[in-house]
Structure 1
Amino acid sequence: MRLHRKHGLAATMLATTVFVAAQLGGIGSATAADPCDYPAQQVDLENWKVTLPTGSGNSPTEIKQPDLEDFSVAPWFQVNSKCTGIQFRAAVNGVTTSGSGYPRSELREMTDGGTERAAWSSTSGTHTMTFRTAVNHLPEDKPHVVVGQIHDGDDDVTVFRVEGDNLYITKGNDTHHKLVTSNYQMHQVFEGKFVVSDGEIEVYYNGVLQTTIDHAKSGNYFKAGAYTQANCGNSSPCSSSNYGQATLYKLQVKHS
């Protein structure tokens, strides 16, 4: 496993990047966005950290700012081969956090330039995450991957979850709360959006409101990437060749 860090011109270019370097010409297409060395050159990751399916025990690798600015590790977290977005991969035999039995290559929302964990209230202000993504690969036997979510201090609140050909929006422990489509195809790009205010979460798919979920709680934060919902206990082979993968093309968070 190789880690890549590079300073100089790439870092200077990154410092001038205000938002998303991956420009999409519509929900189903993407065009190359140079430079292609690090994920943070594709999407502004100033207020994020990444958790990877590597490490040991229940201590997965975490990369925070400022190291995240020029960090890449193949194949778990890297610019995709077309230089259009960030590839997230989590194999079923990956290292998991102490609170989960499933591996992830996933961003977690931070604040203050990536130095503090984000934790906001759903009853105060308006909190929005818009992301554009595509699932590229599903694990065997249990072909389930989460690509975007809201989490509170205890558990996930609502997520976008692909199960084979089905794309669901969940609500707490109800993993099939809202069926968005029963004909999801690998590599199909879609846009998800969460809008949280006044104790409610509005969830959108390609700009269309799908469901509204009651949620009045503090300690919330956004997550995005590939959270594989399979492990060596329910998916075979138990190897790095069996994985979930998604590509993230756009990520925007706004608090007001």
Structure 2
Amino acid sequence: MTPCHSLLAAALIAALSTAASPVLSTDTAPRAVHAGAAAVPAELLDLSNWKLTLPTGEEGGPQELLAGALSGFSNEFFKLNDSRDGVLFTAKVGGATTQNSHYPRSELREMQGGEKASWSNPGGTHTLEVREAIVATPPVKPEVVAAQIHDGEDDVLQIRLEGERLSVQSDDGQTETVLDPAYKLGTPFDVKIVAVDGRIDVFHNGEKKAELAKSGTGWYFKVGAYVQSSVEKGDAEGTPGAVAVYSLKVTHTG
């Protein structure tokens, strides 16, 4: 990684949007802390139904923290941004990965009452609403996944940035709908993903952009920074990818 790229990545991570963001909530209780007043991520996002996976620990067995351990937790990979209106998820090339993945992540995994969330489509209405900004990508393979539906084996759907192309992808990238063809790092955007009646609807900044015929079981949501590069792909060890999450809400009905 060149000094220029290092400075650029550092500047992008530091210079997050300072625009006011809505009070954050999940399907449990809304947060009472206003943007700028929080001291740790759990005071801004309701993390009671999430588990955090970090790019630290052993290869194939990275560090994971359940909701109870997240109440006062903050580190370089999971912290408030400078304006304290968003949570900054950072993963670096060469970081610890999960089993069956070659890439590092700082990412939330949906939980339900202390157990791993697992729901079906069709079978109710399952909605993820997130306001986020992709802040940094590795220079050689500039790809980051910022939100997902996953099942017990693989991703079902991803919100993914490749270069400047922000898209929703499924079927291992075989099906793609472009959300923004010229995305600029650090620009906040709103995504709503609704799984219902054997399909997935995806909204970008309030506009419906995709309707995918998808059904399955064992599904759950994921949100954060899943960096799609490695040393083998040409990026230097320690190169960061980062996503800022300003609001996060999950609802299940039916």
Alpha-carbon displacement from aligned partner over 1:103-158 (angstroms, at most 9, x marks no partner): 0000000001xx10000001100000000000111112000000011001221011
1:43 aligns with 2:40: no
What is aligned with 1:254? Answer: 251
CA shift at 1:65, angstroms?
Answer: 2.2
What is aligned with 2:242? Answer: 245
1:107 aligns with 2:118: no
What is aligned with 2:216? Answer: 217
- Code of the aligned partner of 2:103: Y
Secondary structure of the equivalent of 1:81? Answer: coil
Using structure 1 for the length normalisation, give the TM-score: 0.85
What is aligned with 1:77? Answer: 78
1:33 counterpart (16, 36, 40): 36
What is aligned with 2:88? Answer: 87
Identity of aligned residues (%): 39
How many angstroms apart in 1 are the aligned matches of 2:84 and 2:124? 36
How many angstroms apart in 2 are the aligned matches of 1:51 and 1:226? 10
What is aligned with 1:185? Answer: 184
How many angstroms apart in 1 are the aligned matches of 2:147 and 2:173? 16
- Code of the aligned partner of 1:19: P
CA shift at 1:83, angstroms?
Answer: 0.4
Consecutive unaligned residues of structure 1, counting only runs of 5 or more, are 1-16, 24-31
How many angstroms apart in 1 are the aligned matches of 2:229 and 2:32? 31
CA contact (8 A) 1:22 1:84 kept: no
CA contact (8 A) 1:165 1:183 kept: yes
> What is the root-mean-square deviation of aligned Cα atoms in Å?
1.5
Secondary structure of the equivalent of 2:178? Answer: strand
Using structure 2 for the length normalisation, give the TM-score: 0.86
How many angstroms apart in 2 are the aligned matches of 1:192 and 1:145? 15
- Code of the aligned partner of 2:108: L
CA shift at 1:21, angstroms?
Answer: 5.8
How many angstroms apart in 2 are the aligned matches of 1:22 and 1:175? 41
How many angstroms apart in 2 are the aligned matches of 1:199 and 1:22? 37
Alpha-carbon displacement from aligned partner over 1:214-233 (angstroms, at most 9, x marks no partner): 11111000000000000111
CA contact (8 A) 2:229 2:235 kept: no
Aligned length: 226
CA contact (8 A) 1:21 1:34 kept: no
CA distance change for structure 1 residues 153 and 232 in 2, over 3 Å: closer, same or farther? same
CA shift at 1:235, angstroms?
Answer: 2.9
Name segments (4+ residues, structure 1) moved above 4 Å: 20-23
How many angstroms apart in 1 are the aligned matches of 2:33 and 2:120? 30
Consecutive unaligned residues of structure 2, counting only runs of 5 or more, are 1-27
CA contact (8 A) 1:169 1:175 kept: no
What is aligned with 1:29? Answer: none
